[in-house]
Amino acid sequence: MKTAKASFILTLLFFFFFFFLFLSSSVESITEKKALHKPCKTLTLYFHDIIYDGTNANNATSAIVAAPAGANRTTLSGLMHFGDVVVFDDPITMDNNLHSPAVGRAQGLYLYDRKDVYTSWFGFSFVFNSTEHKGTLNFIGADPLMEKTREVSVVGGTGDFFMSRGVATLTTDAFEGSVYFRLRVDIKLYECY
């Protein structure tokens, strides 16, 4: 009888030990998740894109490399630019002046991916070469152009931004037809190493 009672008490103690162990790890993980909602680093940069139009080869920073059948590669195609693929190597500045010193380059591509809505899909990197930052930040995501602000994911980085993750909010800051646009990029990193 004493061994059965001792066995029951021992089982009960193990149960409570593991229950509180589980509970404490759950509480810890909940508090960790809340801490991730504050960015560990923020940046605001400007991305300047000058599209090649057949006459501005010396100044262009992007070019149409693929277009639908029948379209040319010096002007964006008709309806919503569907099917156009543009590669770019654009300057990144700390302010909205194209002639300010570049802190890096935005390198990648965007493609117009819908027939019914004016929208594009981005895949690009910010390659930093300034005294303040070294390394890259990598971005990917949909860009519904008719929205005032849009968000794309920060999916990684190198150098000062090693394995960073977060969100970049894009705002069209200037737009000059189909030749030039400037994006304000507000970057919030939630994982910084």
Each residue's pLDDT tens digit, 84-123: 899 999 999 999 999 999 999 999 999 988 888 888 999 9
Mean pLDDT of 123-143: 95
Give the rounded distance of the alpha carbon of 145 from its chain centre: 15
On whether the CB atoms of residues 190 and 165 are closer than 8 A, the answer is yes
Q: CA–CA separation, 67 vs 76, rounded Å?
A: 8
Number of domains in the chain: 2
Co-location of 122 and 151 in the same domain: yes
Co-location of 154 and 92 in the same domain: yes
* Whether the predicted pLDDT of 175 surpasses 90: no
The whole domain housing 22 covers 1-35
Co-location of 1 and 19 in the same domain: yes
Co-location of 24 and 54 in the same domain: no
Q: CA–CA separation, 49 vs 64, rounded Å?
A: 12
> Which one has a higher pLDDT value, 49 or 18?
49
Co-location of 68 and 136 in the same domain: yes
What is the DSSP secondary structure assignment for residue 51, as one 8-state letter?
A: B
Pairing of strands 41-50, 62-66: unpaired
Co-location of 10 and 66 in the same domain: no
Co-location of 4 and 66 in the same domain: no
Lowest mean pLDDT among 3-17, 63-77, 166-180: 3-17
CA angle 58–97–103, rounded 5-degree value: 80
Co-location of 49 and 30 in the same domain: no
In order, the DSSP letters of 91-149 are EEESSS-TTSPEEEEEEEEEEE--SSS--EEEEEEEEEESSS-EEEEEEEEEE-TTSSE
Task: Give the pLDDT score at 110.
Answer: 93
Co-location of 30 and 91 in the same domain: no
Co-location of 65 and 87 in the same domain: yes
Q: What are phi and psi of 27, to 5 degrees?
A: -65, -40
Q: CA–CA separation, 49 vs 78, rounded Å?
A: 20
* Whether the predicted pLDDT of 26 surpasses 70: no
Question: Which CATH number goes with the domain that contains 133?
Answer: 2.40.480.10
Co-location of 29 and 87 in the same domain: no
Which residues, in sequence order, are CB contacts of 110 under 8 Å at separation 6+?
Answer: 85, 86, 88, 120, 121, 122, 123, 124, 143
Over residues 31-89, the pLDDT tens digits come to: 555 555 789 999 999 999 999 888 888 999 998 888 887 666 666 666 668 888 999 99
Co-location of 45 and 30 in the same domain: no
What is the DSSP secondary structure assignment for residue 45, as one 8-state letter?
A: E
Q: CA–CA separation, 77 vs 162, rounded Å?
A: 38
On whether the CB atoms of residues 23 and 168 are closer than 8 A, the answer is no
